[in-house]
Homo-oligomer: A and B are copies of this chain.
Amino acid sequence: MFNKEIYQQRRAELKARMGSGQLLFLGNDEASINFKHNWYPYRQDSTFLYYFGISLPGLVAVIDCDEDKDYIFGNDYEIDDIVWTGPQPTIAELAEKVGVSHTAPLSKLDALVKGHCQILPPYRGEHVLQLSEIFNKPVKEVENLVSVPFIKAVATQRNIKSAEELVELNKAVTTTSEIHLAVMKAARPGMKEHELVAIATKVARDNNVSLSFPPIATINGQTLHNHYYGNTINNGDIMLFDCGAESPEFYAGDMTRTFPVSAAFDNRQRELYEIVYKAHRTAVEALKPGKRFMDVHLLAAETLVEGLKGVGLMKGDTQEAVANGAHTMFFQCGLGHMMGMDVHDMENLGEQYVGYTDQLKKSTEFGLKSLRLGKELEPGNVITVEPGIYIIPELIDMYKESGKLDAFINYDKLETYRDFGGIRIEEDFVITESGSDLLGTPLAIAPDEVEQVRSSSLSL
């Protein structure tokens, strides 16, 4: 938890931006696994944490902009609870730590809310049920209560990271980097993918933090969200590891490395890795305030196409290829996303509000529709940069049959890459006044550096 002044200042800024009205903040409750009281590791809602800092279940907060008052609602523990959970501070004591002087039991919430509060979009079933109860409305009408001005005010504020947030983000990415180095050093031919996930969870827990999302740890890197960890990793395979740790104050890290299971990449792997690495560096060099991230994404796509033309997998005019979406044969997703207390920061508020503007709408085209951030960068934005090349056999078949990209794709050559897999390189950056700064401890990223880690570890 930060100093109370930080939370007071954050709430004051929100009140100033909203001007009037009542704002409701639902904290997260415990999340049930296979019966009510068997719980997943607790995670507080990020917006609740941002304005109210308390990482405990059973809390609801209200900001009254008209009266300039902040409230936290929750029930104090009783002796029966204390047997199971140990002595706990009261709600009033907790609230005092974040500068909130008005507290009450949850039963008092309805009287204050009186149906007037504005809400943010719910993303857990329990939220919908709780909102239905608080506002006495059928569950299907709950989404009508969501306030776009409230969403925009929160997104505008949270999109610019303050000094204390950048310290946390640096911690998160440093732990993330530590995890990746441990994995890159430990991987051995014959191991299972889940043994590398085991290392990641151990390093995170050794630091007393959680992972910020379920790791992707796979020799089938072409599957973008792969949570199967059952394959054996063998010499000749490339291992894609995408993983992030949280900081003590719940900020996220998010990095990807793709490394050879052998001591070095083979020729094809090295060629495509070089292309992704060049796209990564080109994108990072382009980061600066005022630059649209959509344009950085397209620049990375062009760099990928140039490289793919160089190895004979693509052909034709580079800009025309990108304009026709030909790069989506290899790069189906976005170049990056905002990162903060959520790894895809504020995805629950809606990507249109977090990554786009009233003038710049999110695309619905394949490829661009997966770009979570399109708008102009500002100092204090924290983002990921994660270009990749993914060879997806089903997509080759589909595009080939449609014939629409024949002018840009060399299908004969591509067929020989059918089982290649996927490569992604991902790092995290803060936008500065003049460009960008890498977050976290630098980690081997150039192909020679990656091979150096692998070969020196394998020779131990």
Contacts and interface: CB of A to CB of B under 8 A. Distances in A.
A214 B83 contact: no
A36 B347 CA distance: 8
Interface stretch (A39-47, A158-166, A278-286): A39-47
A381 B29 CA distance: 33
Give the interface size class of chain A: 35 or more
A205 B214 contact: no
Nearest to A191: B206
Interface in A173-212: 192, 194-195, 197-199, 201-206, 208
Nearest to A126: B125
A37 interface: yes
A35 B351 CA distance: 11
Interface string A381-425: 000000000001011001000000000000000000000000000
B214 A206 contact: no
A82 B332 CA distance: 12
A438 interface: no
A78 to B, nearest CB: 11
Contacts of A343: 38
Contacts of A206: 194-195, 198
A170 to B, nearest CB: 20
A88 to B, nearest CB: 10
Contacts of A332: 83
Contacts of A223: 84-86
A123 interface: yes
A460 interface: no
A35 B202 contact: no
A145 to B, nearest CB: 16
A129 interface: yes
Interface in A73-94: 79-80, 82-87
A459 B125 CA distance: 52
Interface stretch (A108-116, A224-232, A255-263, A355-363): A224-232
Contacts of A197: 205
A90 B348 CA distance: 30
A348 B35 CA distance: 5
A38 B226 contact: no
A34 interface: yes
A342 B37 CA distance: 11
Interface of A: 28, 31-43, 45-46, 79-80, 82-87, 123-129, 132, 138-139, 192, 194-195, 197-199, 201-206, 208, 213-214, 220, 222-230, 332, 341-344, 346-348, 366, 392, 394-395, 398
Interface pairs A-B: 5 shortest CB-CB: A125-B125, A198-B205, A125-B126, A86-B223, A35-B348
5 contacts: A34-B342, A34-B348, A36-B348, A85-B226, A198-B205
